[in-house]
């Protein structure tokens, strides 16, 4: 079992009694930085991140999992971090997203999330016509990247 798998296991243990929280990603970087990205259906607070950090750190030390010095960081994904988990999509329903596919890019309001993919409402503007709002279904397996767009209006 590698370090990332072990950390995933420890995080899942810690949040077993918190169905509102979920693990987004674990990355062990060659420079010794161990990053755990967490989220929650209503977001995640600093207290939860600290508790997860203490739990994971304690067990990694106790079991001497990592040989070299490392720096453990537990946080929520930043605004510039692409969505990767279905639950992240669900908590962002109603927000404007940018969805990249291998051959195209879509922008619109995220209106629905299913097991197969997402539906966004996008405005299609043809020259000389009023923009038309259409719903576009995008399967998860066709998405290369999705980011939430922040509006400062």
What's the predicted TM-score (pTM) here? 0.82
Residues 6+ apart with CB under 8 A from 27: 4, 34, 35
What pLDDT does residue 108 have?
96
What order of strands is seen across the sheet that includes strand 143-148? 132-139, 117-124, 105-113, 96-101, 143-148
What pLDDT sits at residue 151? 77
Q: Determine the Cα–Cα distance for residues 33 and 36; give it in Å rounded to an integer.
A: 10
Structure confidence by residue, pLDDT tens digits, 29-43 = 999 999 999 999 999
Q: Where in the chain is the domain with CATH 2.30.30.100?
A: 86-148
pLDDT, tens digit (0-9, with 9 covering 90-100), for 78-134: 888 999 999 999 999 999 999 999 999 999 999 999 999 999 999 988 888 888 999
CATH 3.30.300.20 domain position(s) in the chain: 3-75
Q: Note the CATH architecture for domain 86-148.
A: Roll (2.30)
Architecture of domain 3-75: 2-Layer Sandwich (3.30)
């Amino acid at each position: 079992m590698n370090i990332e798998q072990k950390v995933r296991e420890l995080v899942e243990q810690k949040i077993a009694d918190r169905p509102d929280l979920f693990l987004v990603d674990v990355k062990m970087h060659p420079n010794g930085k161990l990053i755990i990205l967490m989220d929650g259906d209503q977001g995640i607070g600093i207290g939860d991140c600290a508790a997860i950090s203490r739990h994971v750190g304690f067990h990694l030390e106790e079991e001497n999992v990592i040989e070299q010095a490392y720096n453990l960081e537990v946080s929520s994904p930043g605004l510039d971090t692409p969505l990767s988990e279905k639950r992240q999509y669900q908590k962002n329903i109603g927000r404007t997203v940018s969805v990249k596919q291998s051959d195209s890019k879509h922008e619109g309001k995220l209106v629905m999330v299913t097991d197969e993919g997402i539906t966004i409402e996008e405005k299609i503007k043809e020259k000389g016509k009023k923009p038309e709002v259409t719903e576009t279904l995008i399967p998860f397996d066709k998405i290369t990247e999705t980011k939430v767009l922040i509006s400062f209006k």
